[in-house]
Chain A
Amino acid sequence: MTTATSQDVLAGLAEILDEVAGTPVDKVVPGAAFGDDLEIDSLTMVEVVVACEERFNVRIPDEALEALRTVGDAVALITASVPA
């Protein structure tokens, strides 16, 4: 169950990154860093977070945003936050 959700979140995040930043889907892997690997700047990161909140029906507080370095960090945070 948890694994399936993580995969769903990863796929959803890849779609969002494609939409807001034109990031190729195959680059969106858990180890990819938003800044260094995917060239997501701070403004676009806010767009990504807001889109994730809408799509996954979660709330990502600003404090958590600072800790989101990689795609894997985001997937873990969202997966843990998805309402049961």
Chain B
Amino acid sequence: MTSVAVTGLGAVTPLGPDVAALQEGLLSGRSGVRLLEGEPWDQLPARLAATVDLTGRLDRVEARTLDRVQQLALVAAREAWADAGSPEVEPERLAVIVGSGIGGALTILGQADVLRESGPRRVSPHLVPMLMPNGPAATVGLELGARGGVHTPVSACASGAEAIAQALDLLRSGRVDVVVAGGSEACVHPLPLAGFAQMRALSTRHDEPEAASRPYDKARDGFVLGEGAGIVVLETEEHARARGARIHGWVAGAATTSDAYHVTAPDPSGQGAARSIVLALRDAGLTATDIGHVNAHATSTPLGDVAEVRALHTALGDHRPVVTATKSCTGHLLGAAGAVEAVATVLALRDGLVPAIRNLDNLDDEADLDVVRLEPRRLQHDAALSTSFGFGGHDVSLVLCR
């Protein structure tokens, strides 16, 4: 079967403008979370967020005509493409798969205000291409001249991981040579924050923003909404070798399953999540004991984290790989999370350094895991697992190798 190489990495996250900042932030245990202060945030019951500074990253016209979710995808895609050495590939053999959980939310909400306050003739003619959920993928496809298909998985917080899973299938099918894949999200706005708060899904640790995202800690009280994008350049081994590309790692296997349990609540048994792990391992031709570390979905919600622990135990049996949780530093980037975490997983494998989970002071009694705490764990290993789960009952597992 075709092997799929990771030849380019791009990330714009609350930890900084690029992959180097992401890696440095994770290894030093930095937090990207802050308190949103002043109007219009003060009235919100939960007002923590992990935001990105895009100042100076785009020209004025790009900033006007692209929604922030598209801007983030474009910045990360440019980094990934340059990192891959701007591969020469036939446009018809190049595809883009970039997911988003919510799409152009800031445009919809901002333009709804324009409509109400100034009338329909003041609504931007760019509204529709800015709000459509396929906008980030389309933006990247236009930038790179991709004619082999542009796709957008929309599976809430699993979107970015699902994009990489779909890219693996597409490359194995032989229809394309290169896929630019990932996820992007930008919805830090009072309305989504109010909605997530009404679900009681968000942390309200306002007095200690940097300690708010604390996966597996006894005192966790919800996730922190973040924004950002993660993009990888994937290509067939044959294509990568032929052009002498530097290979960061490999996407060895993937699987997507679904819970059919509840639209937002995780199945407490973790069965659907466990199946995605088992199937991804089988897809990679590996077994549980091959997995050296897990980049867990671990959003810092009371229910979700323990459901995932059960899934890991069900899928991996007695094997206890090292577990890290990127969201402890970045917050939860929703549809970008799985892609950013795939980038982090590839880096940890490549460099043999698994970042610690920030804010993990008292491990939850139900989290019987070999968690990385305080310092990164030095660990030479060949394979790792990255899990992503989304509202709607989406379960996506990726197996990455060095």
Contacts and interface: CB of A to CB of B under 8 A. Distances in A.
B124 to A, nearest CB: 7
Interface in A37-74: 43-44, 46-47, 50, 53
B125 A43 contact: yes
Contacts of A11: none
B243 interface: no
B262 interface: no
A5 to B, nearest CB: 24
Interface in B54-68: 59-61, 64-65
B122 A22 contact: no
Interface in A12-38: 19-22
A19 to B, nearest CB: 8
A22 B61 contact: yes
B175 interface: no
Contacts, number: 22
Interface residues of B, number: 11
B126 A50 contact: no
A18 B137 CA distance: 27
Classify the secondary structure of B's interface with A: helix
B126 A21 contact: no
Nearest to A19: B60
Contact of A21 (B61, B124, B129): B61
Interface string B90-129: 0000000000000000000000000000000110111001
B61 A47 contact: no
B125 A20 contact: no
A53 B61 CA distance: 20
B126 A22 contact: no
A53 B122 CA distance: 10
A20 B121 contact: no
B70 to A, nearest CB: 14
A49 B61 CA distance: 17
A39 to B, nearest CB: 10
A44 B65 contact: yes
A47 B60 contact: no
Contacts of A43: 65, 125-126, 129
A50 B122 contact: yes
10 contacts: A20-B61, A20-B64, A22-B59, A22-B60, A22-B61, A43-B125, A44-B125, A47-B124, A47-B125, A50-B125
Given A22-B60, A43-B125, A43-B126, 7 more contacts: A21-B61, A22-B59, A43-B65, A43-B129, A46-B125, A47-B126, A50-B125
